[in-house]
């Protein structure tokens, strides 16, 4: 994806044309097919898409968490402050994972050691990455738990993961992820397993921490509500590609890709005035076992044109920092673009 000039000083992470494949029985699945994006300090980038669209694989392969084999990065680069980190574990002797980029997952239980108390697990990162003494590290761990708004942090630090509820575990994971004051926090569906009230607490916490530390957040989610609440920039992914990229307002109010529109139309509106029908997106995402020839969304797209099924669309500039990978926006197309604007107006209440 042709980006804006990237010598912006605020750019922390710059991913260029990332391609990831998985070898499975009977063939290769092209999970990520050329993804580019940039993350700026203090900003939140949301990556939205359905399960299987490659959003988790994208960040996992940047972090070196994709099992290889069967996974394989076939192309691309990811620059963290100018250093390519693909396939690297450290830059200038400093660990990338845990030190410069923190990570939290949907299911915190699987990433915590059940036989070690929470405080020691957080302390361990500090001992490994920062060379703290055991005592110092534990004291800092308690501070971090307090920072994550865990009540009675002192007592909680001595408890084991099974004594924590899901929301508390996610807080502990956040405390662990921010222990080394990373530049970037990757949150992979952090609230999907949680209830709305707990989700609201966790999202508030993430927002507060971002304001305090100025770290960038990459938020992976499928919930447009969470995106609307948290994101500055949004990357909409479909079938292993970025289909639309822009600021949160442009994504929601000037949606340029039919998939983004489809996602919004498939969600119930909370407007008491309107009781509109839900418009589902027909069908299911393509199986990347057989990558589509043209646009991956064409079989489900209400605006699909002949060219969509035949040739992959290029990325088109829609507005400042707003791009969409769609034939509708091709200069040669004269007919169908109004349809998309109409749909935008229908879906967006003024």
The answer to whether residue 40 forms part of the interface with other proteins (CB under 8 A) is: no
Provide the residue count of the chain: 350
The answer to whether residue 200 forms part of the interface with other proteins (CB under 8 A) is: yes
User: Which residues, 6+ apart, have CB-to-CB distance to 157 below 8 Å?
Assistant: 117, 118, 119, 122, 138, 141, 142, 145
Burial of 175 by CB count in 10 Å (0-12 exposed, 13-18 middle, 19+ buried)? Answer: buried
d(CA 302, CA 342): 13
d(CA 229, CA 145): 24
The answer to whether residue 26 forms part of the interface with other proteins (CB under 8 A) is: yes
Among the residue ranges 106-114, 174-182, 306-314, 318-326, the one whose residues contact other proteins (CB under 8 A): 306-314
**What is the dihedral sign for C-alpha 212, 214, 220, 221?**
positive
For 202, the token pair is 């966790």
| Min separation Cβ 75 and other proteins, Å | 21
Alpha carbon distances (Å) from 312 to 24, 33, 75, 232, 294: 25, 12, 18, 28, 4
Residue from 62, 235, 308, 324 in contact with other proteins (CB under 8 A): 308
Task: Convert residues 206-225 into a mask of x (bound to other proteins by CB under 8 A) and - (unbound).
Answer: ----------------xxxx
Query: CA nearest 161: which of 206, 121, 114, 195?
Result: 114
Name the residue nearer to other proteins (CB basis): 96 or 304: 304
Pairing of strands 83-84, 71-80: antiparallel
Among the residue ranges 2-10, 67-75, 118-126, 227-235, the one whose residues contact other proteins (CB under 8 A): 227-235
d(CA 349, CA 272): 12
The answer to whether residue 299 forms part of the interface with other proteins (CB under 8 A) is: yes
Among the residue ranges 83-91, 92-100, 105-113, 328-336, the one whose residues contact other proteins (CB under 8 A): 328-336
Name the residue nearer to other proteins (CB basis): 132 or 303: 303
Query: CA nearest 104: which of 155, 167, 31?
Result: 167
The answer to whether residue 261 forms part of the interface with other proteins (CB under 8 A) is: no
The answer to whether residue 5 forms part of the interface with other proteins (CB under 8 A) is: no
Residues 80-139 that bind other proteins (CB under 8 A): none
Query: What's phi and psi for 55, nearest 5 deg?
Result: -70, -40
The answer to whether residue 307 forms part of the interface with other proteins (CB under 8 A) is: yes
The answer to whether residue 278 forms part of the interface with other proteins (CB under 8 A) is: yes
Residue from 6, 88, 284, 342 in contact with other proteins (CB under 8 A): 284
Among the residue ranges 62-70, 81-89, 96-104, 270-278, the one whose residues contact other proteins (CB under 8 A): 270-278
The answer to whether residue 280 forms part of the interface with other proteins (CB under 8 A) is: yes
The conformation of residue 45, written as its DSSP 8-state character, comes to E
The answer to whether residue 252 forms part of the interface with other proteins (CB under 8 A) is: yes
As a whole number of Å, the CA-based R_g of the chain is: 21
Residue from 17, 212, 289, 293 in contact with other proteins (CB under 8 A): 289
Name the residue nearer to other proteins (CB basis): 64 or 299: 299
């Amino acid at each position: 994806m042709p980006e804006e000039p990237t010598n912006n000083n605020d750019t922390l992470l710059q991913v260029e044309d990332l391609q990831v494949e998985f070898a499975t029985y009977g063939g290769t699945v092209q999970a990520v097919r050329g993804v580019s994006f940039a993350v700026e300090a203090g900003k939140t980038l949301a990556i939205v898409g359905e399960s299987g669209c490659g959003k988790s694989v994208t960040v996992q392969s940047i972090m070196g968490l994709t099992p290889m084999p069967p996974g394989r990065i076939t192309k691309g680069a990811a620059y963290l402050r100018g250093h390519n980190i693909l396939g690297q574990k450290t830059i200038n002797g400093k660990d990338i994972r845990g030190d410069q980029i923190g990570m939290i997952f949907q299911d915190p239980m699987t990433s915590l050691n059940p036989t070690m108390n929470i405080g020691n697990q957080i302390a361990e990162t500090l001992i490994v990455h920062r060379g703290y003494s055991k005592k110092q590290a534990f004291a800092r761990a308690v501070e971090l738990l307090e920072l994550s708004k865990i009540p009675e942090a002192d007592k909680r630090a001595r408890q084991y993961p099974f004594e924590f509820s899901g929301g508390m575990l996610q807080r502990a994971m956040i405390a662990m992820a921010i222990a080394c004051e990373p530049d970037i926090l990757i949150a992979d569906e952090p609230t999907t397993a949680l209830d709305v009230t707990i989700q609201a607490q966790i999202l508030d916490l993430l927002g507060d921490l971002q304001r305090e530390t100025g770290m960038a957040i990459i938020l992976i989610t499928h919930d447009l509500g969470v995106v609307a609440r948290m994101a500055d920039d949004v990357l909409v992914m479909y079938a292993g590609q970025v289909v639309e990229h822009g600021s949160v307002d442009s994504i929601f109010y000037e949606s340029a890709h039919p998939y983004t529109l489809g996602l919004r139309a498939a969600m119930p509106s909370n407007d008491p005035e309107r009781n509109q029908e839900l418009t589902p997106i027909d069908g299911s995402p393509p199986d990347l076992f057989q990558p589509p020839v043209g646009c991956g969304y064409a079989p489900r797209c209400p605006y699909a044109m002949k060219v969509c099924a035949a040739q992959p669309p290029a990325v088109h500039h829609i507005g400042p920092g707003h791009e969409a990978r769609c034939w509708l926006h091709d200069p040669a197309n004269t007919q169908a673009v109004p349809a998309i604007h109409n749909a935008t107006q229908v879906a967006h209440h003024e």
